[in-house]
A and B are shown apart, each in its own frame.
Chain A
Amino acid sequence: MAHSVRRDAPELPDFSLLKRLARDQLIYLLEQLPGRKDLFIEADLMSPLDRIANVTTLKQHDVDKLYKVEHKPIFYACENLLEEQGIFGDVTTDEWSFYLLPLDDDIISLELPEFFRDYFLEGDQRWVRTAGSALHLLHSVYGPFSKVYGIGRCSKMAYESWREQVEEGEQRARQAEIGNVFLIDRDVDLVTPLCSQVVYEGLVDDIFRIKCGCVEFCPDVTSSDKSIKVMLNSQDKVFNEIRNEHFSQVFGFLSQKARNLQTAYDKRSGMNIKQMKTFVSEELKGLKQEHRLLSLHIGASESMMKKKTKQDFQELLKTEHSLLEGFEIRECISYIEEHINRQVSMVESMRLLCLLSLTENGLLPKDYRSLKAQFLQSYGIEHLLTFSNLKQLGLLVEQQPGETLTVMESRVGKLVNDKTAGKLTDAFSSLAKKSNFRALGRRLNLVPKSDEEYDLRVPRDMAYIFSGAYIPLSCKLIEQVLERDGWTGLEEVTRMLNGHEFAVTAGSNGSDARVKTDSQRIILVMFLGGCTFSEISALRFLGREKGIKFIVVTTAITNSARLLESMLDNHA
């Protein structure tokens, strides 16, 4: 990709240290129990544990057998439960405070997929302190941070919890590796994670589901009879080059790569024995490896192409873009209705409904009721609970009488041309209480003008991750705040986002401010409630543009399906 790097971006800190810390602590715990022992592990923890300490390491420390525990124990109440079962006295508990799992050079996950539901839906704050502790750990290993920005109630609490821990603990003066931190609540921007992902890594996640940085490609992809598990990170050279690319560009890139590879192989033909020897010993292994990866990614792309270049997908994207632009809303609603009628996919239908509600600031009562009824008849009445959850989170709501202005907007928008509509909607927005997405879109220029051609080969802004249709709100906020070094000038935006923004200079010593070190250009962005690969791609793009590096810390990698599935109330 023809990205121009503005200046030398700083080196990323080494996060493998975090793995080492976690491993050492685990080993310490294992060694507390002398002799052979078995390990029972909750199914969800299998993958993260494997990233920290594999079976060989465990065996080295006298772990005999490993068992997978399928049901979910609820840890906080463990002691009570044990007491009820009358075995409390026979059990000792130790806590393995494993907070952070580095998934890649610039992605660290807390592996807490339940965070989103627990905090934003149930109002359960038990993870806030965990987030604070994670931040504290990063601060003590890679800090001290000099500036912390944030938005959202949870961010604020996590920040406070971290500050408390800093004050309680020992303070050591050291050279900072990470200078600035940005904390953001997922509910500040719910639109972005609900959009279909079209950047390679995001798309792979949407279709195949990446788990802990590892994806299982089905036989359909591997063109063999086996599924293959592949680690997806910057170590995979092929993947590293395409992960941030818009999907339409990937195939061209891969075929170019294949041609290069062929040329490299072809070198053999004119070689004498000695050259051949060096070729085999030095290059062949690398080529073979690249070959293997290349064929996997080509297989994956093909399989995705099959799914995603179909008319259906194009129409789906068109609808999404219309929703984001606030255009032809009626048609969108009929599309969604047909989507339900055709029973395409429960979660997808729900996603479109939520996107409609979020962008339109709620559905008209008539639409809300009829779509909901259709949905319930199709997928069962238990989704009354799902709808109740969605409503509570503000993902899918019914407009209250007197809030119909946005709908008028869209109607007017259809009648008159763009410019007039813009003026009119401006006027409306000042009247409407919370015409948030539209107003935010305008204020932050989230939706580029659709009449211009968008060249996906040479992206001009972060909108490329959604085919040029939308700049993710979360990333735009980060860009704006970093540019302004705070929230000044964004007062109206924060008001619409329900406030809770902050910008604090954490480092007290003035010497830091004078020396503009590399660490100032390394920004840690912490998403509370999860972030998508598309957002990470967008931040990487922003980083390249500005000559900075972003490190994404997230409670979990999410996407539309995961986010919505967490809203279901499984009665099973």
Chain B
Amino acid sequence: MWASLASHLAYHVTTVINSVCVCVCVCVCVCVCVCVCVCVCVYRKIELYEMGWSLRDGLKECLVAAAPYGGPIALLRQPQRPSSSARPQLEIYSSSGANMASFPWKSGPVRQLGWTVCDDLLCIQEDGTVLIYDLFGAFKRHFSMGNEVVQNQVLEAKVFHSPYGTGVAIVTGASRFTLATNIDDLKLRRLPEVPGLQGAPSCWVVLTQDRQTKVLLANGVDLYILDNTSCTPVTPPGLSPQACSIVNMAVSFSYKYLALFTDSGHLWMGSANLKDKLSEVDTKVRTPPKQMVWCRRPKSQQPSVVIMWDRLLLVAGECTDTIQYTLDEESVCVAELDGVRIIGGSRHELLQEVPSACQDIFKIASMAPGALLLEAHKEYEKSSQKADEYLREIKEQSVLGEAVRQCVEAAGYEHEPETQKTLLRAASFGKCFLSNYPPEPFVSMCRDLKVLNSVREYTVGIPLTHTQYKQMTVQVLIDRLVYRKLYPLAIEICRYLKTPEYQGVSRVLKHWACCKVQQKEEPDESIAHAVSVKLGEAAGISYSEIAARAYECGRTELAIKLLEFEPRSGEQVPLLLKMKRSQLALSKAIESGDTDLVYTVVTYLKNEMNRGDFFMTLRNQPVALSLYRQFCKHQEQDTLKDLFNQDDDHQELGNFYVKASYKEKKLEARLSLLQSAVDEYNKAKNEFAAKATEEEMKLLRFQRRLDEEKGEALLGLSLQETLHALLTSNFHKQAEQLYRDFRVPDKRYWWLKLTALAEKDDWEEMEKFAKSKKSPIGYLPFVEVCVKQHNKYEAKKYVSKVTPEQKVKAHLAIGDLEGAAEAAIERRSEGEISTVLSRCSPTTDRALLERLNRARSTAAKK
């Protein structure tokens, strides 16, 4: 049984190893790992690269900026003697020290270098100008941090990152701070003055909290928070009293934690909102540090800060013990999500807290499940019986699953491919003894490592950790490779990870094409051809973006050629607008069916063209015209009028004036608008509307007169409402006049007057009204209206006047069942008798019921 199992295993392991092997052969980095322990935390320093650059004086006298996530390094070497006319040299290297660009600096003195999230280099000059270069040293653009700076000069500057992108903060010679949260959407904010601050503060950092960017600064021992509107003094809880000045500060990668270093050599650690203190450590070093950065991995409970002096590197954690490393060369620390990179003239190292999975496995004499599994596998390789013993031990504790998980996880944290392989083999070995163990974590770890190892390779030089890679996502990694013009590798990774074409291969190809169109020496034809050949098959390529790039480089003809490849008409619109082909843009926008886009073009045209041409253009595009009308209805009433005018649409103009009249409060203005409406309706040969509008004017005038004379509030009511109001207020004469003047149909007037009288319980007047002449609506309404006002007594008065056909209804309305029965029987109508019957209840008089039933059958026979 053992043998069969073994052969099964052998097969399994080989397949796994095959997949790992590929990544191993490309790796040349040498790892030397020494672990040191502070409190319960273990730290290790791994060598990432031996630097490929040859710097004569190391990093001495250099401005250095290294981007996080294993990004590029920029050096600005100051000339040896300030007086010398030699220009400083700007150099850009990969993390492994491979030169990517190098050129003499010809602009003004630089205060600070920094990298954006898109791997662009920011050079902040003394005069507040910020120049942006790409990875290869090509100038992209520049912007200024404000006019004030030119005079006062930048004393210090910082580049920071937040969810909004890359930001820049400066402090000027006038001790004023200015910051821009996102350099791609530049909005300069000049922060309020700091009381008592002269020159630069002793130290400062930029914080991002609650979507606000603030500056935290120290002036001696005083701490201030500066936001857009105010400068607030703050005190960190429990700061050692010996301190006279805060000389350095550092904020963590996530902006959650803050570290302060005082002149008394104390290191205070706490939350960035200054509400909680985590710990305080006396470093016993009183010299101000050169650099201080946070070093903690996500989810770790241990705060720790790395402090650097000229020859010393110190890791301070929660307890008083510190770890010290001697530095033998000038170095720079780069804060990372899960550690600190230390870049020196010859070496590039990673200092981090050892992940617990690795600790468990590699700790000496560890009995953790992962450690046992690793041991078991080692014995198995040696074909030793002991493998079985170890396995048994794991299985007895039922922690095999945990063991596999640990090995897989630990593999992710290891930089050395051999170690990765060993751990993965052990995991794979353990997996064989588990049924139902999900394969995904193992498989995806193998994939991730293969990708990571290939980008960590010396020639690429992106020393990402697994944690960073997961945080950064594949998409961003692909972007970074693309910025470095490593197109084949990027495509290789996309294909290997089976990234959907949109996010993967197509995107890479698009970048390639964007780069291609900038090659000035090649003719338009051949570029367009090359692009279409290469991109032809890829899904979701945005040709318009490529064309836009071509246009930016001044190659309009090429842009137009490329746009022709764009299948989505909507995508062509923005560029067409930019290239001033607005008519074509409008047709394309309409073709796309995207109304937002049509609006964009219409708005653009409106600003570009004179009114006449604009209207003419719209006239030829009904879709755009109706959209524009809709917009005008809500936003630009006057333009709407012009549009109707242009079309001689008098009907709509009439409507327009009527509508306008209702927005007008002043009566005279209202009347004049209505008069305009009348004129337009007449022109439109709409006599009805013209007359109705004239009558409205007449009514308004009447209402005004009455309002003035009698203090009524009639203005604006409809004719019906006016009449109703007059009748309920006993202005019968005026009501009569209106009724005649406006030729109100008798029927409606009678209904109106009837209800009005009933509503104010004027029964006497109602009776008079009923007798005034023969009612055009009959007398049933009188009965019903009285009943509705709960006056049956009055209702009865009119029952007798009701026509024979409506008698039954009238009797029923007042609840007179007998009367209704009499009337129905008299009329010998089967339907009516049935109606009466349906209203009868069990309490109804028997005799009446019988009479009704008899009458019904007689009526039916007929």
Chain A contacts to B: CB under 8 angstroms: 32-37, 74, 76-77, 80-81, 89-90, 118, 122-126, 128-129, 132, 157, 160-161, 164, 167-168, 170, 337-338, 340-343, 369-370, 372-374, 376-382, 384-385, 388, 569, 571
Interface centre among A74, A170, A341 (most CB of B within 10 A): A341
> Given the complex of chains A and B, what is the CA–CA distance between A74 and B596 in angstroms?
12
Min CB gap B544→A, angstroms: 13
A124 contacts B696, C-beta separation under 8 Å = no
* A32 to B164 CA separation, bound complex (whole angstroms): 9
Q: Are A381 and B696 closer than 8 Å at their CB atoms?
A: yes
The answer to whether B777 and A168 have CB atoms under 8 Å apart is no
| Closest chain B residue, CB of each to CB of A391 | B651
Consensus secondary structure, chain B interface? helix
| Contact call A342/B751, Cβ cutoff below 8 A | yes
Q: From residue A1, how far is it (CB to closest CB) to chain B in Å? A: 26
Interchain nearest-CB distance for B431 vs A (Å):
31
Q: A34-B211, A128-B595, A337-B747 are in contact. List 7 more A-B contacts (CB 8 A).
A: A122-B626, A126-B630, A170-B502, A343-B752, A369-B688, A382-B662, A384-B693
Q: In the complex, A77→B720 CA distance in Å?
A: 40
Contact A341:B593 (CB < 8 A) given known A170-B500, A384-B655, A571-B659: no
Instruction: For B185, list chain A residues within 8 Å (CB).
Output: 89
* Contact flags B208-230 to A (C-beta < 8 A → 1, else 0): 01110000000000000000000
Q: Is the CB of A132 within 8 A of B720?
A: no
A384/B629 in contact, CB under 8 A: no
Q: List 15 A-B contacts (CB under 8 A).
A: A35-B210, A124-B627, A129-B595, A167-B567, A337-B747, A341-B745, A342-B751, A343-B755, A373-B688, A377-B718, A380-B717, A381-B693, A384-B655, A385-B659, A571-B663
Q: How far is the CB of A563 from chain B (nearest CB, A)?
A: 19
A368 shortest CB reach to chain B, Å: 9
State how many angstroms separate the Cβ of A357 from the closest Cβ of chain B: 16
Contact of B565 with A by CB under 8 A: no
- Cβ-closest 7 pairs across A and B: A571-B662, A126-B595, A380-B718, A123-B626, A381-B696, A377-B719, A378-B720
Out of A379, A382, A388, name the residue touching B651 (CB < 8 Å): A388
Q: How far is the CA of A76 from the CA of B594 in the complex (A)?
A: 11
Query: Which residues of chain B in 592-639 are interfacial with respect to chain A, using CB atoms and an 8 Å cutoff?
Result: 593-596, 599, 603, 622-623, 626-627, 629-631, 633-635
Query: How close is A161's CB to chain B, nearest CB, in angstroms?
Result: 5
Q: What residues on A are CB-neighbors of B659 within 8 Å?
A: 382, 385, 569, 571
Question: How far in angstroms is the closest Cβ of chain B from A123?
Answer: 4
Residues of A within 8 A of B651 (CB): 388
Scan residues 732-754 of chain B and give those whose CB is less than 8 A from a CB of chain A: 742, 744-745, 747-748, 751-752
* B108 at interface, CB cutoff 8 A: no
Are the C-beta atoms of B634 and A125 separated by less than 8 Å? no
Within B715-739, which residues are at the interface with A (CB < 8 Å)? 717-721
Query: In the bound complex, what is the Cα–Cα distance between A342 and B777 (angstroms)?
Result: 11
Residues of B within 8 A of A378 (CB): 718-720, 748
- Residues from chain A with a CB closer than 8 A to the CB of B594 are 129
- The distance from the CB of A437 to the nearest CB of chain B, in whole angstroms, is 25
Residues in A with CB closer than 8 Å to B623 are 125
Asked if A168 meets B568 with Cβ closer than 8 Å, knowing A76-B599, A122-B626, A161-B593, the reply is yes
Whether B744 pairs with A124 at a CB distance below 8 angstroms is no
Question: Is residue B692 contacting chain A, with contact meaning CB distance below 8 A?
Answer: yes
Residues of A contacting B: mostly: helix
Q: Which residues of B contact A343 (CB under 8 A)?
A: 720, 751-752, 755
**Inter-chain contacts of A37 with B (CB < 8 A):** 211
Chain A: minimal CB distance from B294 (Å): 19
Known: A126-B595, A381-B696. A77 touches B626 (CB 8 A): no
Q: Are A132 and B630 in contact (CB under 8 A)?
A: no
| Complex Cα spacing A382 to B718, Å | 9
Contact B658 A377 (CB under 8 A): no
Whole-angstrom distance between the Cβ of A129 and the nearest chain B Cβ: 5
Looking at B502, B655, B717, which has the most chain A CB atoms within 10 Å of its CB? B655
> A126 near B627 (CB under 8 angstroms)?
yes
Q: How far is the CB of A387 from chain B (nearest CB, A)?
A: 9
Contact with A along B162-199 (1 / 0, CB 8 A): 01000000000000000000000101000000000000
A385 neighbours in B (Cβ, 8 Å) = 655, 658-659
Size range of the interface on B? 35 or more
Q: What are the residues of chain A within 8 A of B502 when measuring CB–CB?
A: 170
Residues of A within 8 A of B163 (CB): 32, 34
Decide if B593 touches A128 in the complex (CB within 8 Å).
yes
Q: Which of the residues B211, B720, B755 comes within 8 Å of A33, measured between beta carbons?
A: B211
Q: Complex Cα distance A34/B567, Å?
A: 37
Assess whether B118 is interfacial by the CB under 8 Å rule.
no
**Residue among A377, A378, A379 with max Cβ neighbours from chain B (10 Å):** A377
Shortest CB-to-CB span from B352 to chain A, Å, is 25
A35 to B163 alpha-carbon distance, docked (Å): 11
Q: Give bound CA distance, A384 to B540, whole Å.
A: 52
Taking the complex as formed, is B689 at the interface, i.e. its CB lies under 8 A from any CB of chain A? yes
Distance in angstroms between the alpha carbons of A36 and B744 in the assembled complex: 63
Q: Complex: how many Å from CA A32 to CA B163?
A: 8
Q: How distant is the Cα of A569 from the Cα of B660 in the complex, in angstroms?
A: 11
A125 and B595 contacting across the interface, CB-CB below 8 Å = yes
Q: Is B539 in the interface zone, CB < 8 Å from A?
A: yes
Taken together as a complex, chains A and B put the C-alpha atoms of A132 and B592 apart, in Å, by 12
Q: Of all chain A residues, which has the CB nearest B663?
A: A571
Residues A376 and B751 in contact, CB atoms below 8 Å apart: no
- B264 CB to nearest chain A CB (Å): 35
Q: Is the CB of A74 within 8 A of B742?
A: no
**CB < 8 Å neighbour of A122 from B630, B662, B720, B742:** B630
Smallest CB gap from B781: residue in A: A342
Nearest CB on B from A364, distance (A): 14
With contact pairs A76-B596, A77-B599, A341-B747 given, residues A124 and B626 touching in the complex (Cβ less than 8 Å): yes
What residues of A have a CB within 8 angstroms of the CB of B718 in the complex?
Answer: 376-381
- A89 CB → nearest B CB, Å: 6
**Do A125 and B658 touch across chains, with their CB atoms under 8 A apart?**
no
- The answer to whether A381 and B747 have CB atoms under 8 Å apart is no
Q: State which of A35, A340, A341, A571 has its C-beta within 8 Å of the C-beta of B777.
A: A341
Cα–Cα distance between A224 and B631 once the two chains are bound (Å): 47
Q: Render B70-94 as a binary contact track against A, CB cut-off 8 A, 1 for contact.
A: 0000000000000000000000000
Structural contact, B655 and A372, CB atoms closer than 8 A = no
Complex contact A384–B692 (CB within 8 A): yes
Q: Is the CB of B211 within 8 A of A35?
A: yes
Q: A124-B630, A369-B688, A384-B655 are in contact. Are A377 and B211 (CB under 8 A)?
A: no
Could you tell me if A341 and B748 are in contact, using CB atoms closer than 8 angstroms?
A: yes
- Distance between Cα atoms of A349 and B747 in the complex (Å): 16
A268 to B752, CA, bound (A): 60
Chain A residues within 8 Å of B662, by CB = 382, 571
Instruction: Chain B residues near A384: list those with CB within 8 A.
Output: 655, 658, 689, 692-693
B689–A160 CB distance below 8 A: no
Q: How far is the CA of A81 from the CA of B634 in the complex (A)?
A: 11
What CA separation (Å) do A89 and B186 show in the bound complex? 9
Q: A384-B693, A388-B651, A569-B659 are in contact. Are A74 and B593 (CB under 8 A)?
A: no
Q: Once bound together, how far apart are the Cα atoms of A33 and B210, in whole Å?
A: 9
Q: Which of B718, B742, B744, B755 has the most CB of A within 10 A?
A: B718
A residues in contact with B187, CB < 8 Å: 89-90
Name the A residues within 8 Å of B720 (CB-CB): 343, 377-379
Interchain CA distance A340-B692 in the complex, whole Å:
17
The answer for the CA separation of A338 and B752 in the assembled complex, in Å, is 12
Establish whether residues A372 and B210, one from each chain, have CB atoms under 8 Å apart when the complex forms: no
Q: Which residues of the other chain, B, contact A81 by a CB distance below 8 angstroms?
A: 635
Q: Which residues of B contact A122 (CB under 8 A)?
A: 626, 629-630, 633
**Residues of chain A with a CB closer than 8 A to B719's CB:** 377-378
Whether A374 pairs with B658 at a CB distance below 8 angstroms is no
Given contacts A34-B211, A168-B568, contact A377 B744 (CB under 8 A): yes
Q: How far does the Cβ of B164 sit from chain A's closest Cβ, in whole Å?
A: 9
Q: B689 contacts which chain A residues (CB < 8 A)?
A: 384
Give Cα A123 to B540, complex, Å: 32
Interface pair A36/B567, CB less than 8 Å apart: no
